[in-house]
Chains A and B, each alone.
Chain A
Amino acid sequence: MILGALAMIAANGASVLGARMLLARVAVGRQAVDFVLFLLLRLLLLSAVVLIAGTAGGLTPGVLGITGAAAIALLVALGAHRGLRRPDVEGWDRWVLVLGALVTVRLLIQVWFLAPYHDDVIAYHLPKIVEWVRSGGFTRELGPDPRSTFPAGFELIETWWVVFLHHDVLIEMAGVEFLLLAGAGAYALAREMGWSVKSAAIAALFFVLTPGIHFQATSCFNDGPVAALVVATAALILARVPAALILVPVGLGIGIKPTFAYALPGLAVIAWLCRREPRTAAPSSRTAWTACIAALAIGAAWYLRNWAVYGNPVHPMGWNGMKNPTSGSMVQRMGPSFQALQENLSGLLDVRIYDRIHAPNAPGAGNFNWGAAAFAIGMPALVPLLRTEAPLRRLTIGLVLSMGCVFFLVEYDLWYTRFVLFLTVLPALALARLWERHRIVAVLASAALVSGILGTCVPGAVPEESLRHMVSVPAAVRAARPPPQRPAYGQTIGYLAVYHGSAYLLYGADYSRRIVYLREKTLDELLARLKADGLTLFYTPTGRFLEESMLEEGVRRGVLRSFKDGDWPGYEVVFAK
């Protein structure tokens, strides 16, 4: 663990110095925009390193740590450390700094005490990470759920935060990196619109405290990162930086989730509306284009892999979208739908904006999760500003169009609002602008800020027993719920690979358990597989799934016996006497 921690420090140090060195070649000379570029370059480096190490079979703490240490030596020799200085926070109100520091500390506490808890995350986002980390490289096995093949750009950053310790205690740091990018993006947008440092800092604070954005950061969901990248892209567009640099977050975003691509038309409109503004040059266009090509390649990697392996770049989606194999209901749609647009818009305006279905939560369950500040202060504040501030008007037109495009392309369900969390940067910006102009806005926004701080303490839509379990067990074994007791620790566990499930939790927080996914479609094949792998029992997801009839046949024939180990339903093999 200590060697792993040292390797993590070395690799992170190298990535910071490397990003700084690249920044020196593409910096545009405006602090806020350059900080956004620095964060993007670091994320680009981390993604590239994990992608290359995973492909080459070098995804281990030893390889990454030694490479990191060597890179530090090389970068220091090249002078990358020169000119390192404390962040410039001149002009920031003291209370913003204090509150920002407190929110950061609270965020780290949340990282420490929260383990991956949401169904989607533990069913299909994270099992692939464990498989990669356990085998020290990319694997064909990605997890039990067919959606495991979705683009995994965010999982690259999550892998970075688990590979060194071989443990998921810091996995949420990946989301925190993107939360920082979100704040930096909001700050840069305000500065690029010519607003004061104070307004920009307040906008960043309110945006980061947007409940949906905040909880996404510590939930292992990839919609917060998409929102952060949309906002960062918008900031670079408003800053009129070279196209090559604007395409860096675009490449990363497309590699994280297709919903980023859905938002692109709105971003293109912002670029078109800003076309007469003076351009900003980067010192080295070669470095900028190299970063651009790398980001686009990283983004395209998942679609190319799916095309090569499954013959379909968006596998497992087909032309008719994707349906729940058990219920037959539409899970993801493919292509635009006016009905989806209408349902999504009215769902947002009639219900979701009030945030009164659940406590603020990460998956977007029932709410927009934009908080009191955006609902009550930010959106009314946007009205007068849209009439007078042209850059804000352009940004609003673009982001509202992005929202429309996303709504045109996604299915109406309980959770769709998390795909448009980028929109909440608009009320955060407007609130910050009027904060300086009208005392009444500052007073009311302070009350909303208290509500925002309270609302981002404990994530909603998480079972109470799960929260209690996470904070009560040591970090070494922290999980959303206790794993089954059988088989004995260290032995391989069988798990029926069906749609959904909680496979990730079976690996253990230290990824020490091996899971065999059972994909057999007949009872005899299943029994043969269990015998071949030496498994005497296996677990299944809770709820209904198509393979139930196969298991019922096994029980009927007397070769399987169902059991329950805590919350875990399973079957054990009955051997002939």
Chain B
Amino acid sequence: MDGNLRKPVPPVAWEVLLVALLAAWRAWSHPTALLWRDWFLLLCLFWIFTALCSRTRAWPYVAGALMGGLLVLYGWGQLPLTFAAMGLGR
């Protein structure tokens, strides 16, 4: 038998598979219209990207874009409440 056929699956493949299953579960169990801003799903997709491309030049840019996007998403919901608690913006 060819030795290559018995080569173990690389750990990164298992990692990607596991996180992809989590992402799929989330996408299946969550309303489709809200998926673009679902924190858990975005984090899963980022995990898959990191597992596959963490050593590429693109990684810091993608990470920065995700973090910036999440920062806007968080601020959009929370900052008006923070300002209201401080007596501002009403």
Contact = CB atoms under 8 A, between A and B. Distances in A.
B35 to A, nearest CB: 12
Nearest to B47: A383
Interface string A354-379: 11101110000000000010011101
A359 B86 CA distance: 9
A258 interface: no
A349 interface: yes
Contacts of A457: 86
A380 B63 contact: yes
Contact of A454 (B46, B66, B86): B86
Given A349-B40, A376-B74, A451-B75, A444 B81 contact: no
Nearest to A464: B87
B68 A356 contact: no
Contact of A359 (B46, B71, B84): B84
Contact of A383 (B50, B77, B87): B50
Pick from A356, A438, A457 the residue with the most CB of B within 10 Å.
Answer: A356
A459 B85 contact: yes
B46 to A, nearest CB: 6
B40 A451 contact: no
Looking at chain A's contact residues, is the secondary structure mostly helix, strand, loop, or mixed? helix
A438 B63 contact: yes
Nearest to B77: A356
B26 to A, nearest CB: 8
A358 B67 contact: no
Contacts of B67: 376-377, 380-381, 440-441, 444
A201 interface: no
Given A384-B50, A440-B60, A358 B71 contact: no
A463 B65 CA distance: 38
B54 to A, nearest CB: 6
A279 B60 CA distance: 37
A387 B50 contact: yes
Pick from A350, A355, A380, A444 the residue with the most CB of B within 10 Å.
Answer: A380
Looking at chain B's contact residues, is the secondary structure mostly helix, strand, loop, or mixed? helix
A444 B64 contact: yes
A459 B84 CA distance: 11
Interface string A377-395: 1011101100100000000
A448 B54 CA distance: 24
Nearest to A356: B77
Nearest to A437: B60
A2 B51 CA distance: 63
A481 B73 CA distance: 36
A372 B74 contact: yes
A473 B15 CA distance: 58
B20 interface: no
Contacts of A460: 81-82, 85
Interface in B41-81: 43, 46-47, 50-51, 54, 59-61, 63-64, 66-68, 70-71, 73-75, 77-79, 81
Query: What size tier do the contact residues of chain A reach?
Result: 20 to 34
A455 interface: yes
A447 interface: yes
Query: What size tier do the contact residues of chain B reach?
Result: 20 to 34
Pick from B50, B74, B79 the residue with the most CB of A within 10 Å.
Answer: B74
A355 B78 contact: yes
B59 to A, nearest CB: 8
Contact of B81 (A359, A376, A459): A359
A304 interface: no
Pick from A358, A376, A384 the residue with the most CB of B within 10 Å.
Answer: A376
B5 to A, nearest CB: 28
Contacts of B63: 380-381, 384, 438, 440-441
A353 to B, nearest CB: 6
A102 interface: no
Interface string A234-272: 000000000000000000000000000000000000000
A60 B86 CA distance: 39
A458 interface: yes
A204 to B, nearest CB: 21
Contacts of A451: 71, 74-75, 78-79, 82
Given A387-B51, A438-B60, A460-B81, A372 B71 contact: yes
A554 B64 CA distance: 68
B28 to A, nearest CB: 14
Contacts of B43: 379-380, 383
Contact of B82 (A438, A447, A454): A454
Given A355-B78, A438-B60, A458 B85 contact: yes
A359 B85 contact: yes
B82 A360 contact: yes
Contact of B74 (A354, A383, A387, A438): A354
Contacts of B47: 383
A446 B50 CA distance: 23
16 contacts: A350-B30, A354-B73, A356-B77, A359-B85, A372-B78, A375-B70, A375-B74, A379-B43, A383-B50, A384-B50, A438-B60, A440-B60, A441-B64, A444-B64, A444-B67, A451-B74
Given A376-B71, A379-B43, A387-B54, 15 more contacts: A349-B39, A350-B30, A356-B81, A359-B85, A360-B85, A372-B78, A376-B68, A376-B70, A380-B70, A438-B64, A440-B61, A440-B64, A451-B78, A454-B82, A457-B86
Interface of B: 15, 30, 39-40, 43, 46-47, 50-51, 54, 59-61, 63-64, 66-68, 70-71, 73-75, 77-79, 81-82, 84-87
Interface of A: 349-350, 353-356, 358-360, 372, 375-377, 379-381, 383-384, 387, 438, 440-441, 444, 447-448, 451, 454-455, 457-460, 464
